[in-house]
Amino acid sequence: MMMPENGHRAHGFSSAFFLDSDEIIKELDLKGNETFMDAGCGDGHIAIKVIEEYLPEGHVYAVDVYDASIEDMETYKKENNIENLTNIEADITEGIPGVDDESIDVVLLVNVFHGFKASRKLDEAVDELARIIKKDGKIAIMDYKAWDVPKGPPTQMRSSPEDLEKLFASHGLKMTYLNEEIGEDIPEGKSHYLIMFEKE
Ligand SMILES: C[S@@+](CC[C@H](N)C(=O)[O-])C[C@H]1O[C@@H](n2cnc3c(N)ncnc32)[C@H](O)[C@@H]1O
């Protein structure tokens, strides 16, 4: 496993090595005072960038099931006296403790969602994401295209935007945005898509 650039421990491959976090965060059109969650934050490089550069007046939640990632985020918080950061160790599919219903403006999952398919916990994950977002909040998912290509997770773990649109619709969430020209340049084209959902 490669050590993430910020030295934090991560369970999985940090997207800092191959995705442009500014390209991703700009898609969210943050105004500066939102409540934002990096769900499946890994090394936390996206949560940290959002706090330091995009949400001076907002609040950031960093959530991961891997205890070492959350410990490292707690060290970062303490060493830098960051008040507007809450780090939570939790399995998203089992519920995120301490996060109220309809309290989050934007939740972002980068290279996390395919894991819910692998663990057959798609409905549980979507229910929890729907619970925490505000009525006009956004769920933003960036993941690998459902292509049979060597880079990224096995093909059977991937979902297409159409698969996600159907899944989220069955939980009362409508697709509001889709960008299929994002991510890394691979021989087949752009590696990822970014899709957003809101409550109906
Ligand atoms: C491939 S890494 C991506 C990390 C980060 N989002 C990034 O872009 O670098 C996937 C992360 O999702 C976390 N994760 C996987 N399943 C999870 C779950 N059910 N609940 C919370 N975190 C989860 C893993 O621990 C890991 O840190």
The reply to whether 193 falls in a domain is: yes
pLDDT tens digit sequence for 28-45 = 999 999 999 999 999 999
CATH number at residue 155: 3.40.50.150
Contact 57, 127 (CB under 8 A): no
Q: Is 171 in the pocket of ligand 1 (CB under 6 A)?
A: no
Q: Is 71 in the pocket of ligand 1 (CB under 6 A)?
A: no
Task: Provide the pLDDT for residue 143.
Answer: 98
The reply to whether 140 falls in a domain is: yes
For the chain, where are the E strands, in sequence order? Answer: 35-39, 59-64, 85-89, 104-110, 133-144, 173-186, 189-199
**Residue 6 pLDDT exceeds 90:** no
The reply to whether 48 falls in a domain is: yes
Q: Is 115 in the pocket of ligand 1 (CB under 6 A)?
A: yes
The band of 4, judged by pLDDT with boundaries at 50, 70 and 90, is: confident
The reply to whether 93 falls in a domain is: yes
**Residue 13 pLDDT exceeds 90:** no
The reply to whether 185 falls in a domain is: yes
The band of 79, judged by pLDDT with boundaries at 50, 70 and 90, is: very high
Distance 112 CA to ligand 1 centre (A): 5
Task: Provide the pLDDT for residue 9.
Answer: 84
Gap between the Cα atoms of 50 and 21, Å rounded: 9
Structural domain span for residue 37:
21-199
Gap between the Cα atoms of 8 and 163, Å rounded: 33
**Residue 83 pLDDT exceeds 80:** yes
Gap between the Cα atoms of 39 and 61, Å rounded: 8
State the Cα torsion 90-178-25-107 to the nearest 10°. Answer: -30
Task: Provide the pLDDT for residue 3.
Answer: 72
The reply to whether 2 falls in a domain is: no
Q: How many domains does the chain have?
A: 1
The band of 1, judged by pLDDT with boundaries at 50, 70 and 90, is: low
Distance 181 CA to ligand 1 centre (A): 23
Task: Provide the pLDDT for residue 5.
Answer: 81
Q: Is 195 in the pocket of ligand 1 (CB under 6 A)?
A: no
- Give the number of residues written for the chain: 200
The reply to whether 1 falls in a domain is: no
CB hemisphere CA count around 108 (13 angstroms): 27
**Residue 2 pLDDT exceeds 70:** no
The reply to whether 8 falls in a domain is: no
The protein residue with its alpha carbon nearest to ligand 1, atom 12, reads 40
